[in-house]
A and B are shown apart, each in its own frame.
Chain A
């Protein structure tokens, strides 16, 4: 039985797709057979971040409607073994996702995969609710600013009340906080909320802190999940988060201001 992980946030643009791609890839690198599903029907992005946009033939909605089989629609990642992507449909909208259809696909995939990562669309409407409904684990991507934190709080309430686990009265969804686009310098200047501030407001365990990094934008544009960039701090931070997700202890990194070296200061880096 696969573990179903939803990456969600409420607010848009906080890094859900980047995180889904990185964490999905990270799990596959650890040897788990993993699939990442793009739930953002109509605003398909995951294929771009994963660099497989030219290989999309069939999509999620095709499978739901029975126009294609799961094997036809799943795209095997070229770089990472054991990693598959199920792209969203770009020509449809969120109403194309039905409870029965999504359940059927997830049940079928559960037989074959160890982890299924659901990349949620922004918002709290149908698309987002569908992405989180079947989840066992939720990763709540949050930026260190008040509106993102409040939206995450809202989505945590929905996880508690509108998921399948909540409706069936089963053990609640395991909740994790992933703080993305963190900039220690701006925190010290009081322009950004600190890790402690966000933890205090949301009161859920911290999975990781991903520092704001140019490498993320570069990786997105190149279609390579940032976790594959071993030199980038963001990539290393995602690797730590994946380890923690698998139950390992990892000290928090990249949350303090990095001292600039002599040459960096001299060259204005």
Chain B
């Protein structure tokens, strides 16, 4: 075996955390379906961690299995689960998926025996909102985005024309609209709080950055029908002139 055969490295993956607050799996599935329908591209095969801290006592191994299956059927990639460190259920070693450490404590993975035989102890999966440091190509749209159309860009999105009322543009990075922005614009949809929205004329129904949104009513009081940028400062949306 030579040294070139493989290499072990640490890696950071952005994941979605599903905090379970009820043992009612059907209700959770229904709610998830609704969320997914809103932004299907975002949820497609997104790595998911299930956190059962809020109701450990009510969750049995069977229930957990059902939850894994339902999530997979919905197209989510379940990679593990979490719960409060002082209240770990007895069935943890029978569970096919690994118990992952909580975001702020990594000690658990060192102490715990490997939950699955093929789990490599050197590979620690860190979780939650940390950005992927891979730059995605910018998507450029030259035609107007019409009512009812939805455009998703894995990187930045540049619209050379207008975004009509009833249209929706989403990007994991920034959004630039070189025309009137009359529809909805959601930047940083995968949690990038540094993302911004720029437009030549702000007339939007909704603008959002990393999940923080503002509706047209509020926008009209700040900047309306004028060039503007939308950015996130200390978890608060700010609308600034350009």
Contacts and interface: CB of A to CB of B under 8 A. Distances in A.
A36 interface: no
B9 interface: no
A72 interface: no
Contact of A154 (B147, B161, B179, B180): B147
A222 interface: no
B161 A153 contact: no
A160 B164 contact: no
A158 B144 CA distance: 12
Interface string B171-183: 0000000011010
B148 interface: yes
Contacts of A156: 144, 146
A153 B147 contact: yes
Contacts of B144: 156, 203
A26 to B, nearest CB: 28
Nearest to B145: A157
Contacts of B147: 150-151, 153-154, 157
Interface string A157-169: 1101100000000
A153 to B, nearest CB: 4
A161 B143 CA distance: 11
Contact of B165 (A153, A158, A160): A153
A203 B180 CA distance: 11
A105 interface: no
Contacts of B145: 157
B interface bracket (residues with beta carbon within 8 Å of A): 10 to 19
A201 interface: yes
A203 B161 contact: yes
Contacts of A201: 164-165, 182
Contacts of A153: 146-148, 164-166
A203 B162 contact: yes
A160 B143 contact: yes
Interface in A78-123: none
Nearest to A159: B146
Query: Among the interface residues A151, A200, A201, which one has the most CB atoms of the partner chain B within 10 A?
Result: A201
Contacts of A151: 147
A163 to B, nearest CB: 13
A150 B166 contact: yes
A154 B168 CA distance: 12
